[in-house]
Structure 1
Amino acid sequence: MLSQGFVSAAAIAASVLFILSLGGLSNQEKAKRAVWYGIIGMAVAVFFTAFGPGIGGYWLMIPMIIIGAIIGTRLARRVEMTEMPQLVAALHSFVGLAAVFVAWSADLERRRVLAARAADGVMQDFSAFAALLAHKAPDELMFLQVEVVLGIFIGAVTFTGSVVAFGKLAGKVDGKPRQLPGGHLLNAAAAVLSLLLAIFYLNGAGFWTLLLLAALAFFIGYHLIMGIGGADMPVVVSMLNSYSGWAAAAIGFTLSNDLLIVTGALVGSSGAILSYIMCKAMNRNFVNVILGGFGGSQGPAAEIEGEQVAIDASGVASALNDADSVIIVPGYGMAVAQAQTAVSDLVRKLRAAGKEVRFAIHPVAGRLPGHMNVLLAEAKVPYDIVLEMDEINDDFASTDVVIVIGSNDIVNPAAQEDPNSPIAGMPVLKVWEAKQVFISKRGQGTGYSGIENPLFYKDNSRMFYGDARESLTALLPMVD
């Protein structure tokens, strides 16, 4: 059994490692080292927490840790980069559900302590947590109740919201925003009832209040995320990340675990900041997004004229051979087709021919912030040719060829031209200003968000239909 001094020192060390990990993830070149900081920090946190003072039940804990490690390792090996967004959503749901269970357990232990005090003050067979509660004053136990309420509410919203997000990202749930009759009023009513139940609980009501509170929060999480469309899913992922952090922090206070408080606060604050950045990149109001599109655009979308004109691999190759400058815009379609390696091969061939090749990355490309950057780094694309939207958006007008691979909303001119579009006002990559635009796409569908794209009908655009990896593989031999 380790002393409290060792545990406190380990908590500080792990916190520093987590901060270094978050800081390093902002840079592609430092990202791998940053991930190792996080891994080491978590290993330190788990070890020193498990063997700290007052911890027991190793006959159950150690097998659970081993089983969890095996499952985690198998999932990590099986999950493709294309499935990372839904994996992140699933992991958020685990944190939320754990917060609910811990909060319920904490209140049951609190009730046992109060019952013992009311009887004869003798405490037998109490857990280490209950023994800790036994030394708390009545006002401290009241504060514990506030922590329990917050843990249950935030955790339950995170759990069902993350489950729905997983379903939408995995294509198992329709990506279009859907709500029950009553819409936002149902969410508001559930929130008011949750507040009333919290007040009843804090004033001495029974455990049933916490069960009903969890049920209402489960509904809010489900209904809230169901009402958010696919175009806003990158914000949803970062928002749920923030929720899971605050749920962990609330439970950290409940368990008097400093490391859980610090870690939860880091995750919660970084997720909130990232959500704000995503909303700013999409010209979205953060409150509107998390309320399921409340106050969105009104009126019919503009009519689109013309037709989508297809082109084959030889036509695209001919344009690339004649071009001096090329910009590639990757999207989730590239991830689905696992075409990043083929894209990297194409880039090397074009650069060897003396052509200027760059990548344009929109802040919300893919279904997870930074998704495209990770895929391109995995395919060993040089960092210096991967540019953010603000760095390259003014260069499209002087570019010969743009290749869009599986993107829709981030290259949709309706964001600037149609005030009634669901993505009106969202900053987009102005690819249509280039001399020629080739869009690699499986078919003529509207894509994940269900929003039609006028880019596909413009005179300088051609549709390069087919699986992205197969299309690029067929293209490679024709490029000089």
Structure 2
Amino acid sequence: MSDFLPTGIQLSYLVAASLFIVGLKQLGSPATARNGNLLASVGMLLAIAATLLDRQVLNYEMILIGLATGSAIGAIAAQRVAMTEMPQMVGLLNGLGGLASALVAVAEFWRLIDASAPIPLDANVSMLLDVFIGGVTFTGSMVAFAKLQGLISGSPITFPLQQPFNILLLIGFVVGSGYLLVSPENVPLFLGVVAVSLLLGVLFVIPIGGGDMPVVISLLNSLSGIAASAAGFVVMNNMLIIAGALVGASGLILTQIMCKAMNRSLFSVLFGAFGTGGAASGGAGAAEIEKNVRSIDPEEGAMMLGYARSVVIVPGYGMAVAQAQHSVRELADQLERMGVDVKYAIHPVAGRMPGHMNVLLAEANVPYPQLSDMDDINPQFEQTDVALVIGANDVVNPAARHDAASPIYGMPILEVDKAKQTIVIKRGMSTGFAGVDNELFYKDKTTMLFGSAKDMVAKLVSEVKQL
């Protein structure tokens, strides 16, 4: 039995890793995403159970206390968090994952120091990488959380000689790590490189504006996986290495997809200081052009929608804030009963995290076939009678196509301005995350329906029923 146990643990890890891979594959489609999430969860349960059977795990009491405490906190947080705060939740979890990985390296370092045991070179390299990646992930994710939560400004925070200072810190970490490889027993120096990694995480995220938060969240998610993989090398756990590598690789792929959707390189995202976090734009030009905005009431909007042959609904962060997804589904159902062809146009970076709109619409049980991505729906806008924009901003701004001076120039957008009529539901004339005035609002074919998305959509439903 004792000989079989290590083999059984490794076989369990192999099965768990297979479930992770299949689960990730199924997460690529909305139709199979729930089943993929279930498979990955079963794989994680199997991996945890196998690890607890490992003879190296000695203190089950502490493990059970930690498991009970973490489960209770996680369950309460999951129940209380609003869908609009899900990006902050993801950022927070990314940060805690990075912190856990870094603490593994710190604990292993302390264990070897207390045991007066020599620290092997490979273990030392793994610990230093784990400390660096985990520390940057932790503090960087905390800053991203604070920006999204509004605890600090969503605008880029910069100071003179910021990048040279960051480079000096990075050089200091590399030099200190090199010295630790030669003299690993230097505790003050080890604590110093830990502090530098934490500081670098803060300085890494503060110059990134709200407009790039979806990309930052994806990147930090990837880093949390890489940190977990490094922790696996520290404690020599194959499952942790594999799971971390999968998270790291999938996060990098998602980051690349987000950058492509914004037509921006990862370098420009990290160092371009783009986005103001939604501050209203000013200037005389904006004030003058605002006079040409044409607003309507829900009754007029209902007539435009009810007598249309085709309607494309474009959800944005405003819909998420108002929790209007259920009302939007009700409106779509009512229009379909009247013979209107209804589709949803999903921009890859709409909202504050990748897939934000998909999650909200899935919560309202919107049928998957009605969801169309940007490349599929854009050629159809010219034949669309009404495009209904609910709280979206930068992702529908026509300036991205032609205004070379605009910060969002070149970013692929949903071309709602090509529809025969466009209705925009919005609280006011404030700008989006990029801080750019949206020229769509002033087009001749655009009408504005001012108010909360949930209230306005509910009124549209009521008026459509009376047609």
TM over 0.5: yes
CA shift, 1:180, in A, is 2.6
Pairing 1:306–2:308 present: no
Determine the structure 2 residue equivalent to 1:240. Answer: 220
Kept in 2, the 8 Å contact 1:332–1:407? The answer is: yes
Q: Distance in 1 between matches of 2:409 and 2:180?
A: 44
Question: What is the aligned partner in structure 2 of residue 27 from structure 1?
Answer: 29
In structure 2, C-alpha distance between the alignment counterparts of 1:469 and 1:151, rounded to whole Å: 45
Partner AA of 1:332 in structure 2 = Y
- Using the alignment, how far apart are the partners of 1:5 and 1:373 within structure 2? 42
Name the Cα RMSD after superposition.
1.9
Maintained 8 Å contact 1:225/1:292: no
Q: Distance in 2 between matches of 1:236 and 1:330?
A: 22
TM-score by length of 2: 0.93
Q: Report matched runs for 1:252-271 at 5 Å.
A: 252-271=232-251
Give, in whole Å, the separation in 2 of the partners of 1:99 and 1:301: 48
Q: CA deviation at 1:173?
A: 2.2
| CA pair 302-230 structure 1, distance change in 2 beyond 3 A | farther
User: Aligned to 2:231, which of 245, 251, 263?
Assistant: 251
Residue aligning to 1:195: 174
Distance 1:462 1:172, change over 3 A: farther
Q: 2:389 aligns with which of 390, 396, 404?
A: 404
Of 205, 209, 223, the match for 2:203: 223
The SS at the match of 2:32 is helix
Partner of 2:268: 288
Distance 2:80 2:29 in 1: 26
Query: CA-to-partner distance for each residue in 1:109-168, whole Å, 9 max, x for gaps?
Result: 23344x257xxxxxxxxxxxxxxxxxxxx7xx1011110110001001100110111112
Find the residue that maps to 1:438 and give its secondary structure: strand
What is the number of residues matched between the two proteins? 452
Aligned counterpart, 2:255: 275
Q: Which moved more, 1:446-455 or 1:189-198?
A: 446-455
CA distance 1:301–1:11, change in 2 (3 Å): farther
The Cα offsets for residues 94-116 of structure 1, whole Å up to 9 and x where unpaired, read as 11111221111111223344x25
1:72 equivalent in alignment to 2:74: yes
Identity within the alignment, %: 43
Divergent runs of 4+, >3 A: 291-294, 300-305
1:449 is displaced (CA, Å) by 3.5
Q: Aligned AA for 1:71?
A: I
Tell me: CA distance 1:148–1:302, structure 2 relative to 1, closer, same or farther (3 Å).
farther
In the TM superposition, residue 48 of structure 1 has moved relative to its aligned partner by: 1.6
Deviation at 1:303, TM superposition (A): 5.2
Give deviations 1:268-296, integer Å, cap 9, x for gaps: 000001101110111001122133549xx
CA shift for structure 1 position 87: 0.6
Superposition deviation, residue 75 in structure 1 = 1.5
In 1: Cα distance, 2:198 partner to 2:138 partner:
7
For the pair 1:346 / 2:322, whether they are aligned, the reply is no
Contact kept? 1:306, 1:458, Cα under 8 Å: no
| Matched position secondary structure for 1:440 | strand
Say which SS state the counterpart of residue 344 (structure 2) adopts: strand
SS at match of 1:306: helix
Partner of 2:430: 445
Residue 302 (structure 1) shift: 12
The equivalent of 1:317 in structure 2 is 302
Q: Does 1:326 align with 2:306?
A: no
TM-score normalised per structure 1: 0.90
Residue 55 (structure 1) aligned with residue 57 (structure 2): yes
Q: Displacement, 1:178?
A: 1.2
Which deviates more from structure 2 when the two are superposed, residues 207-216 or residues 334-343? 207-216
State the shift of 1:317 in Å.
0.9
Query: In the alignment, is the contact (CA less than 8 A) between 1:242 and 1:269 conserved in 2?
Result: yes
Q: 1 CA distance for matches of 2:268 and 2:85?
A: 27
The equivalent residue for 1:130 is none
Partner amino acid, structure 1, of 2:214:
P
Deviates more, 1:274-283 or 1:318-327: 318-327
Residue number among 439, 449, 457 corresponding to 1:464 in the alignment: 449
Corresponding residue for 1:476? 461
| Conserved 8 A contact 1:179-1:223 | no
Cα displacement (A) at 1:3: 2.0
* Letter of the 1:288 counterpart: S
Structure 1, unaligned runs of 5 or more: 118-137, 295-299
- Which of 162, 177, 185 aligns to 2:164? It is 185
Alignment check: 8 A CA contact 1:156 1:218 kept: yes
Give how far 1:338 is off: 0.7
Which residue identity does 1:246 align to in structure 2? I
- The more displaced of 237-246 and 370-379 is 370-379
Q: Secondary structure at the match of 2:200?
A: helix
Task: Name the stretch that deviates more: 163-172 or 337-346.
Answer: 163-172
Give the corresponding residue for 2:19.
17
Q: 1:170 to 1:191 in 2, by over 3 A?
A: same
